Structure 1
Amino acid sequence: MKEASELYDVTIIGGGPAGLYAAFYSGMRDMRTKLIEAKEELGGRTLIYPEKMIWDVGGVPPIRCEQLTRQMIRQACTFDPTIVLGQQINKLERLEDGTMIVTAETGERHHTRTLILAVGYGVLKLAKLEIQGAERYEAANLYYTVTEVEGFRGKRLLISGGGDSAVDWANELEPVAGQVTVVHRRDRFGGHEKSVSRMKESSVDVRTPYAVTQLHGSGGRIEAVSIERVNPEGHLSGEAERLEIDAVIVNHGLRGDRGPISGWGLDMGEWNINADEKLATNLPGVFVAGDTANYPSKLHLIAGTFTDAALAVNSAKLYMEPDAPKTAYVSSHNSRFNEKNEALSVSEEEAHR
């Protein structure tokens, strides 16, 4: 068994928006910080939608997801946390002194006073279209992610799904594609109300409640799809309608697998880990943030994720030091930024010379 690493104040598991902001904010609290990400790159769920426009981060104008990801990573590195990539954490053990060791599937052991789980829904995989033989079109014109909007210019496009991503891509691609058709098996969409209204008021052909039941193609390319109406009981009507299309985008959500974390004894719901208003779980010294956190006032926005991260870090700090200030001093009055502010001032002066 490998020796445990040096002791950290907080170890953050997960390198998505919640984990990245927790790494930044823990630096504001002068905590020795380690961030561990299972993949070989940081960004979490934002890596899936690099071209998607993000509108709802406070004080940030509309920004592409890939750019926001870069900025979050840069911010996370402000106070030089230790970052570990490519390690999926499997095991948690508590020592007699109350500290914890988490062990990766590689055998690496990480020693920490507190733990913040920012694992989202676990290891994420895109939900595939459940039609036999669909995979043979993935190399041509069946898409689960969009990396280049221009590739759909002038095309007849069908989007299958009814969540945020399906609605957002319908709005994003409507001015570019020749025709956008959205097929959703429910009448009600899961996207934000404003986005849904925008889609319905545009030229997008909205087909509800319908489901894609068959793909028609040759030479590895889809040429048409069959859709069928879904009755109130959730069953297909059996009456198919054929639509000629040039490309299909499937947005059926993500399927997550938390793996061994599910066996740690955490109080878990169907999708999330239950926590109190301070983001504390039922395990002492273990906190949650982001999509993985479930509490009554949970806000499912990136802005809410940032708040989760700060609350979890504050709780971790107070767990170690009950007499510490309840929150970090704001950045405009935080001594941790003094040298950095001076460096920025010098850079600005030099730029204007």
Structure 2
Amino acid sequence: MAGIYIHIPFCKQACHYCDFHFSTSLKYKDEMLHALIKEIKLQKSYLNGETIETIYFGGGTPSVLDGDEISRIINTITELHTVSSTAEVTLEANPDDLKPDKLKALKQTPVNRFSIGIQSFFDEDLAWMNRVHRGQEAESSVKRAQDAGFENITVDLIYGYPMLSDTKWKQNLDKVFELNVPHVSTYSMTVEPQTALAAFINKKKQPPMNEQQSAEQFMVLMDAMQAHGFEHYEISNFCKPGHYSRHNSNYWKGVKYLGIGPSAHSYNGDTRQWNIANNAKYMQALETGKLSAETEELTEENRLNEYIMTSLRTIWGLDLARLNQIAKGASDELLKAGAEFFDREWISQKDNVIYLTATGKLYADHIAAGLFF
């Protein structure tokens, strides 16, 4: 079992908070598509013949591609790999791209899941973020996708920024519940270096983010999701029973995956690999039949820490037996390191598995760092 991630490095405009790799020019879209397909062919042996269970188009904004372009990429994958007949094929999309004609075309492709970047239903908040769409478009895009026969939909929301009062945050959540989507991904607004938001804050044009506000809105989020029957299966992700993101769940469970495209990462259990985050250099390398990737051999410590970081964030927890499979006796060391977190009731143990408590979820990164080897 394995997954394939395709990074589409194009956006119509730059959101003020985003530090993902992308270009706002579509001038070289055809050349990039050619390079992506070439990399898929060059990397055909990376997953050692594992069956592909998930394909995920991320970015950037993959919905700038048309149905034929998406099909070309998927067809190349199916020619070189065994793809499960029940594979989850996700396309990240901006609301303004999901027009009726586009949805009709996408219905003819293997895409069977949308991840729609809504972020907020309030126009003033979307303008502050420099999003292309507005609130009504966000709501309409979900309804259009549902009307077109797409039921497996997740939406993204952001909280913890100055313009978002608790009242507005609850209204955003209520709108999602009203739309009856089975999966929601939520993110606290973070200020990444080299973004427009960071520059605005440094120049005192915007106030800094408030950690207390983020924590309180995260608690509101958890309560609301539980009340509406959603499982909190990963720190940032909630779903109705049985509607986990299979692709992202595999990341957290340590399943192998191949990343295609500039800045994309790959993992095969023993090594981690990442492509250069530069469109021109990525395409130039592939034009000469070479990969633009660096590779890191994972040490025992790397594997331990990665497992701690990913597993602790999930509903499935950190299995001490699996930790000992990576390194003999590792569980004893981890339990010693975790004593203070048990005392504070930030983590708990059931049978042989460590879980975050509701309060512990507020400190997930801090706890993971405290347990690292």
**Structure 1 length normalisation: TM-score?**
0.28
- Structure with the larger helix share: 2
Which structure has the greater CA radius of gyration? 1
**Structure 2 length normalisation: TM-score?**
0.27
- Greater relative contact order: 1 or 2 (C-alpha under 8 angstroms, separation 6 or more)? 1
- Structure with the larger strand share: 1
